[in-house]
Amino acid sequence: MASTVIGAGIIIEGEIVTDEDVVVLGTVRGKVSAKEGVTIQQGATVEADVVGAGLVVAGTLTGNITAADRVDLQAGARVIGNVKAARVTIADGAQFKGNVDMDV
C-alpha cells in the first residue's frame, strides 16, 4: 500500500521528495527521490531522475535511475537513461537504452 500515488490524470512538474513508497500512474517531470520503493506503472510517463530503494518500471521513463537495492524493468517498460543499482532485472519485452551500473 503506497502512501503517495500520482494518479493517471495528474501531471507534476517539479520535485517529489518522500520517505515512503511512490506509485506513479500519471506524469512526472523533474525529480523523484524516495527512501522506499518507486513504481512507475504502465501508462505512466516519468521524465525525471529517480532515486529510491527499489524501482519497478512498467511505464515510460526518461532519466537516470539510482536504486539502493534493485531495479526491475518489466515487460512493456520503455526506459532511456542510466541505471545504477545493486541488482537489475530487465524483463523480456522491456525497451531499454542506457548504461547499467551494478556493484560488480
Minimum CB–partner distance for residue 48 and other proteins (Å): 11
- The string of DSSP letters for 62-77 reads ES-EEEEEEEEE-TT-
Question: Based on CB atoms, which residue is closest to other proteins, 37 or 90?
Answer: 37
Question: Based on CB atoms, which residue is closest to other proteins, 10 or 102?
Answer: 10
Tally of CA atoms within 13 A in the half-sphere of 78 that contains its CB = 8
Minimum CB–partner distance for residue 85 and other proteins (Å): 22
Cα 75–chain centre separation:
14
Interface residues with other proteins (CB under 8 A) are: 2-20, 22, 25-27, 30
Q: CA–CA separation, 75 vs 10, rounded Å?
A: 24
Question: Based on CB atoms, which residue is closest to other proteins, 2 or 100?
Answer: 2
Question: Based on CB atoms, which residue is closest to other proteins, 15 or 69?
Answer: 15
Minimum CB–partner distance for residue 13 and other proteins (Å): 4
- Three-state secondary structure call for residue 25: coil
Q: CA–CA separation, 39 vs 44, rounded Å?
A: 10
